[in-house]
Amino acid sequence: MSNTNAPRGFSPSDFLSGTEPNFGLTRGLMAYNASATYKGDPLKLVSGKVAVATVTGNSGAAVAGIADSFSWVSIAQNRRVWQQFYPGSDSQGNADVEVLYNAHPNALFDVQVNAGNAAQADVGSFFNFATGAGNTYSGLSGFSLDYSTKNASQGTLPFVLYQILGAPGTDPTSAYNIVRVGFATQTKI
């Protein structure tokens, strides 16, 4: 069976200790942004506020957390909105958008590999993310794990691979398989 190339961002799974993912979400502000942001997008800190992380490739960047949900006063709906994605350019008065995100340093996330397939030998390697367009219907991110950035040394790569996930739902031997990762570098708030 081959896997479908359908990334859904970084989805919380559990902690390094094996406990359930009842994450205490961190509350932050995202500066008014014309760009959409989705549940599962990696976030970075910019001038004390969170923003979608965009540095891809082998350079990497520290990640502050993974977006979970958003709240803002909507121009289009003329009321406060809570949902899994922020559509961009919809905050009244260009006000900041409230963001809840997963920032626990021991959090683990399930994510799709973007090209190639991660193998058991890759466990412990470091990776960056690949950007992708989110889905406004589901509110989920289009980010994935960038397999081409695999490195045995951490450097500035933000994620470390902990586990290759198997069936049901993913073939661990085919391209676009699903893996479990954790933070390798993290910006503290």
Query: In this predicted model, what pLDDT tens digit does every residue of 130-179 receive, in sequence order?
Result: 999 999 999 999 999 999 999 988 878 899 999 999 867 788 888 899 99
Alpha-carbon distance 178 to 57, whole Å?
20
User: Residues near 174 by Cβ (< 8 Å), separated by ≥ 6?
Assistant: 1, 2, 3, 117
Query: In this predicted model, what pLDDT tens digit does every residue of 35-47 receive, in sequence order?
Result: 899 999 999 888 8
User: pLDDT higher for 145 or 22?
Assistant: 145
Q: Quick one: CA dihedral 45, 50, 53, 54, positive or negative? A: negative
Q: How confident is the model at residue 189 (pLDDT cuts 50, 70, 90)?
A: very low
91 contacts 98 by C-beta, under 8 angstroms = no
64 contacts 29 by C-beta, under 8 angstroms = no
